Amino acid sequence: MDKAEFPPFSALARAVAASKAPPDYLGGLKTYVDMFCGIGGFHLAAKSFQMQCVFACDIDEEARKTYYHNFGIMPAGDITRIQGHQIPDHDLFLAGFPCQPFSIIGKRQGFCDMRGTLFFEIARILKAKLPRAVLLENVKQLATADKGRVLSCIISELESLGYHVAWKILNALDYGLPQKRERILIAATLDPFKEFPWPLGDKPMKPLAEILEPNPPERFYVSERIRQRRHAAHQSKYYPSIWHENKAGNISSYPYSCALRAGASYNYLLVNGDRRLTPREMLRLQGFPDTFEIISNDSQARKQTGNGIPVPLAIAGIKGILNVIRAAETSRKIKSA
């Protein structure tokens, strides 16, 4: 793979480098790369801090098309074919690396699954570029995979590169979204810290009624047979509600959604026991704005949103990193005064 394959990123990197210094609140973070970018949850979060994306990659062709349509950046493909020197210098490395090896839905093989080894592709690039900060995201099961040895391996690898590391499991419910989606965030900075300042998850949950579309197309409604069977098996205490059927066939309902999943059964989440979520509703549950345009079919939209990171969780992680860097820079200024 030749550098010439990435002219948009090279041009953007030069433009960013020549631009004015970032606002003080960015704490010296100006550029970022968006690895395993999906449709851009991390991108939206970093963009809210006025940072510039200089490189993105994802192996999924349909996700790349959606990303390009909304952000004007065509992500590169397979990370294993990308050399470190082909990636522009950057301040912040963002990656929601594949979660299937650690997910409760998958077989949880951890690093025994080839997708699990993709973390070492991250480590390879970090060693080549050594950005000032790193933020990684995965399912919460990563914390307990192989009795905690997988997470310990990741932390050790980051520390060997000179990073100070912290991790925490955050729930989208605590950051304003009506979706119970727990994700582990791993933050790493070259600047030291005693305790990582994770933003408090104390934002009121947006009511489900504000997420749901008033007149969804007929194709999202389940058959009368499925609807009757669900309503015969369960009566909800909430309206509106999202009904969840687990792998054992047990049905529960809440005034929020259980976690969106890319590969779960087609009808595992039903609004009021009657219909599936629309692509727009799924994007809203992930914190994507309505200005984000859907260009794929329903099946792809479901896959793409189910693989994404909730934007407010990504914002929380970036805020924590910015606070660490701001504190480090303030300390250096005081010492040099």
Write the CATH number for 42: 3.40.50.150
Specify the pTM. Answer: 0.88
Bridge partners (DSSP) listed for residue 33: 55, 93
- The answer, yes or no, to whether residue 30 has pLDDT greater than 80, is yes
Q: Using alpha carbons only, what angle is made at residue 307 by residues 31 and 247, rounded to the nearest 5 degrees?
A: 155
Which is higher by pLDDT, 263 or 60? 60
Q: For residue 225, give its domain range.
A: 214-277
CB 116 within 8 A of CB 109: yes
Whole-number Å distance between alpha carbons of 212 and 202:
23
**By the 8 A CB rule, do 110 and 146 touch?**
yes
Q: Which residues are catalytic?
A: 99
Residue 285 belongs to a domain? no
- Taking only the tens place, the pLDDT of each residue in 7-23 is 333 343 343 334 333 34
Give domain status of residue 133, yes or no: yes
Same domain, 197 and 246: no
Pick the last residue of a domain from 229, 258, 277: 277
Residues 64 and 158 in one domain: yes
Q: Which of 17-26, 53-62, 92-101, 278-287 has the least mean pLDDT?
A: 17-26
Same domain for 150 and 266, yes or no, is no
313-326 mean pLDDT: 96
330 shares a domain with 224: no
Lookup: tokens for 308: 């994404």
39 domain-assigned: yes
Residues 189 and 218 in one domain: no
Burial class of 8 by CB neighbour count within 10 A (0 to 12, 13 to 18, 19+): middle
First to last CA, the chain: 48
Same domain, 143 and 272: no
Give SS3 for 164: strand
d(CA 32, CA 44): 12
Is 297 domain-assigned? no
Residue 272 covered by a domain = yes
Q: Give 47's contacts (C-beta < 8 A, 6+ positions apart).
A: 53
Percent of the chain with pLDDT over 90: 75
Residue 301 placed within a domain: no
pLDDT at 3: 33
| 91 assigned to some structural domain | yes
Q: Is the pLDDT of residue 99 over 70?
A: no
Instruction: Report which DSSP code applies to 178.
Output: S
- Based on the structure, what is the number of domains in the chain? 2
**H or E stretch including 159?**
helix 149-160
**Are 125 and 269 found together in one domain?**
no
pLDDT-based confidence at 118, cuts 50/70/90? confident
* Pair 134, 87 in one domain: yes
Q: Is residue 224 part of a domain?
A: yes
Q: Average pLDDT in the 236-249 region? A: 94
